Chain A
């Protein structure tokens, strides 16, 4: 079900308002705390839950499948590059998961395309993207007929699987 806010932890910073892709996290005018104004349009994407610096937002799973009395809470630590989940069942069983969210420091390995060599007219007219053909990595592939004249991977017509497909 949709997200909800624990008032005692929320300090009205507005990070959830900034991040919500559905534009449904807003500030309650009576208490200046966050509130989900349209639960029907909540997709439970957990963006607000992860963005809240005070961990004040939570969500409950749908009653159709989620066991009663459950709790699912998440901690996203951007500097460490991890996301941790804790799933608690009402009998006390707990499942903990930790996953990486990035393998490199944020933004450091993005190609500086504006500094790369300028594409010439032939490059503009070709079918290749900026990082092709290198990033296709089909240099590993010995079979030369798999590359068509555009420089992109392809399959020879006579190797098509036979049969009727609509």
Chain B
């Protein structure tokens, strides 16, 4: 195991940058996120659409779902669709998303702990937190680069080259670049190299792009998607189902779920 994953880079950083500035930066990023999401909601009217949808489903409902059952559905949705990203229709997409999702959560969580508790020149950081911080970034890089080079629908189905960047790539690209620069900063700073300053600056900039771009990027999907999934499953339970037909009750007569090979990407 390379030693840089055991060293908390914020400790050395706090020699030159006051701790309060580091903490202020994190708070600023959080504020940018909240502000961006609120602006997004106001602009896209998606919360209004969400409640309108709920109203439509209620009008078309065939049965009344008791509260206890509703709670059960919500728990199941959280467990299946949210926690294990079960909505994805292919295992590769699911695994890549899980790596990226949990990697980012661990990375951000560990960042908060490091910056708010162990970012002074004399801090003694528990190794596990530092390891988790690096692990989070590594997982994010693994999942996001896999997605970027191979799984992204523009590359996989549309045949575009991996280096074609469009507006919608803002979130994934800024997220993976942030994680990459974070790892590089930590590596070079532990090695005592002057390159660490460059990567620190790039790390800061990519964080600002990531959190500042919330209004324009797909960042906020992490807040909207669980709500949409819950709504979908509640609609299935009450019979409205977005006007979709019920699954056929014909028994699996053609070979107990023989799944054909899906039509390939080109």
Say if the beta carbon of A27 comes within 8 Å of chain B: yes
Q: Which residue of A lies closest to B244 (CB)?
A: A73
Say if the beta carbon of A108 comes within 8 Å of chain B: yes
Among B3-11, B65-73, B181-189, B256-264, the one that faces the other chain is B256-264
Say if the beta carbon of B208 comes within 8 Å of chain A: no
Cβ of B257 and Cβ of A29 under 8 Å apart?
A: no
Which of B243, B250, B262 is close to A86, meaning CB atoms less than 8 Å apart? Answer: B243
Contact A73/B242 with A79-B259, A98-B250, A106-B258 known, Cβ cut-off 8 Å: yes
Contact A102/B254 with A27-B153, A30-B166, A30-B168 known, Cβ cut-off 8 Å: yes
Give bound CA distance, A86 to B245, whole Å. Answer: 5
Cβ of A32 and Cβ of B228 under 8 Å apart?
A: no
- Please report the total number of A residues contacting B with Cβ < 8 Å: 45
A residues within 8 A CB of B255? Answer: 105-106, 108
Contact A74/B157 with A80-B253, A102-B254 known, Cβ cut-off 8 Å: no
B residues within 8 A CB of A81? Answer: 250, 253-254
Cβ of A14 and Cβ of B254 under 8 Å apart?
A: no
What is the CB-to-nearest-CB distance from B230 to chain A, in angstroms, rounded to a whole number? 12
Among A15-23, A138-146, A151-159, the one that faces the other chain is A15-23
Cβ of A18 and Cβ of B218 under 8 Å apart?
A: no
Q: Which residue of B lies closest to A79 (CB)?
A: B257
Cβ of A15 and Cβ of B166 under 8 Å apart?
A: no
Give bound CA distance, A98 to B257, whole Å. Answer: 18
Say if the beta carbon of B51 comes within 8 Å of chain A: no
Q: Give the one of B46, B244, B252, B257 with max A CB within 10 A.
A: B244
B residues within 8 A CB of A132? Answer: none
Contact A14/B244 with A27-B158, A80-B252 known, Cβ cut-off 8 Å: no
Contact A80/B266 with A13-B89, A13-B93 known, Cβ cut-off 8 Å: no
Give bound CA distance, A80 to B87, whole Å. Answer: 21
Cβ of B157 and Cβ of A18 under 8 Å apart?
A: yes
Give bound CA distance, A97 to B242, whole Å. Answer: 17
Q: Which residue of A lies closest to B249 (CB)?
A: A98
For A121-142 the 0/1 string (1 means CB < 8 A from B) is 0000000000000000000000
B residues within 8 A CB of A119? Answer: none
Give bound CA distance, A155 to B187, whole Å. Answer: 87
A residues within 8 A CB of B251? Answer: 80
What is the CB-to-nearest-CB distance from B101 to chain A, in angstroms, rounded to a whole number? 14
Cβ of B254 and Cβ of A80 under 8 Å apart?
A: yes
Cβ of B252 and Cβ of A17 under 8 Å apart?
A: no
Say if the beta carbon of B265 comes within 8 Å of chain A: yes
For A80-108 the 0/1 string (1 means CB < 8 A from B) is 11101110100000001010101111111
Say if the beta carbon of B58 comes within 8 Å of chain A: no
Interface residues of A in 54-79 (CB under 8 A from B): 54-55, 71, 73-75, 77-79
Cβ of B93 and Cβ of A18 under 8 Å apart?
A: no
Which of A12, A18, A32, A103 is close to B263, meaning CB atoms less than 8 Å apart? Answer: A18
Residues of B within 8 A of A (CB): 46, 49, 87-90, 93, 153-154, 156-158, 166-169, 218, 224, 228, 232, 242-248, 250-255, 257-260, 262-266
Closest 8 CB pairs of A and B: A14-B157, A105-B255, A53-B89, A84-B245, A86-B245, A82-B248, A29-B166, A14-B153
What are 25 pairs between A and B in contact, CB < 8 Å? Answer: A15-B157, A17-B158, A19-B263, A27-B157, A27-B158, A30-B166, A31-B168, A31-B218, A32-B218, A53-B89, A71-B243, A75-B244, A75-B247, A79-B254, A79-B259, A80-B247, A81-B250, A81-B253, A82-B250, A85-B245, A88-B243, A98-B248, A105-B258, A106-B260, A107-B260
